Amino acid sequence: WDTIYCELCEKIITDGKRVENRTGIDTIKVPSAHFQLDVGKEFPILTTKQLFIRQAVLEMLWIYQAQSNDVRWLQERNVHIWDLWEINENGDWCDEKTGAVLKHFDPSFAHTIGTAYGYIVKKMGLMDKLIYSLKNDVNDRRRVMSLWQDEYLDTAVLPSCVWSSEWDITDGVLNAWVHQRSCDVPLGLPFNVTQYAVLLCMLAQVCGLKPGTIDWSIKDAHIYVNQIDGIKEQIERYETKGSLSAPTLWLNPEIDDFYAFDASKDIKDIRLENYEHMGKIRFPLAQ
């Protein structure tokens, strides 16, 4: 996964076009990127930088298990990656630096990110439908989980970036196809890939399947211009040291209900074993 990742970064830096966007910090972007990972063979997590697995897994559980849009759920667990998109008491979403109101929402959305991610999963009953199909309709070809629901886009602070996943069973193996409309390659993508790999393994375990492949499709893969130095450092690490051997994911084997995996601060039913990495790289986050 480090190889695929660093090659994508390299491609963005060499072929990418510099563009403006809503955040005010330019990106260099390529319009599309695709790759496939075999989670059954090797657990995908970057080793050329430290990936914060606890935060990544909790964000995934927030969306798919708790099915929440409440940022306090994350904050209570010491995860602060959504703080910049929290609607305040007055219903306002504000610019982190100037305090200017970027968008106003109904105050009933206070402390949430509005109608995106976990809100949609819950509203549409997406997770229950998926699990039912995985357990009861092995040959189903309609397992599309779409977080992109037109009537809910206006009331979302940020419409879901990873917005769809499709789930395939072939010969007892569970495979996923994930689609991302906009991809912050330094910060978002390493989290997202590892999260979906964990989700795939959890679903495989509770549905009596083996974990298989993840195909990942990105539209607009970008690096913010203030992240380029960090990415060059990461590519340099890869070129001089290669990558380290992948860790293994441990899931508590006694759990056979997706909703029973512990989602407290220390996620004790989900653990990485032997995770070696080359240390943190700090990347700025564009609001």
Nearest approach, Cβ of residue 101 and ligand THF (Å): 19
Where does this chain touch ligand THF (CB under 6 A) — which range of 95-103, 183-191, 206-214, 240-248? Answer: 183-191
Selecting among 6, 9, 94, 161, the annotated active-site residue is 161
Q: How many CB atoms lie within 10 A of CB 218?
A: 25
Tell me if 55 contacts ligand THF by CB under 6 A.
yes
Q: Is the dihedral of CA 157, 266, 262, 180 positive or negative?
A: positive
Question: Smaller CB distance to ligand THF: residue 109 or 169?
Answer: 109
User: What residues from 59 to 88 belong to the interface with ligand THF (CB under 6 A)?
Assistant: 81-82
Separation in Å, CA 199 to CA 7, 65, 202, 204, 286: 25, 10, 5, 8, 26
- The interface region with ligand THF, picked from 36-44, 131-139, 184-192, 259-267 by CB under 6 A, is 184-192
CA distance 81 to 156: 17
Cβ of residue 82: shortest distance to ligand THF, in angstroms?
6
**187 is a site residue for ligand THF (CB under 6 A):** yes
Q: DSSP string spanning 218-264?
A: EEEEEEEGGGHHHHHHHHHHHHHH--PPP-EEEE-TT--SGGGS--S
Active site residue 201: no
Place of tokens 């409440």: 70
The Cα 71–Cα 65 span in angstroms is 15
Please identify which residue in 94, 110, 158, 173 interacts with ligand THF, judged by CB under 6 A. 158
Residue number with the shortest CB distance to ligand THF?
A: 188
Q: Which is nearer to ligand THF, 212 or 230 (CB)?
A: 230
Which of residues 159, 188, 211, 212 is near ligand THF by CB under 6 A?
188
Catalytic residues, by residue number, are 161
Footprint on this chain of ligand THF (rule: CB under 6 A): 52, 55, 81-82, 158, 161, 184, 187-188, 191, 283, 285-286
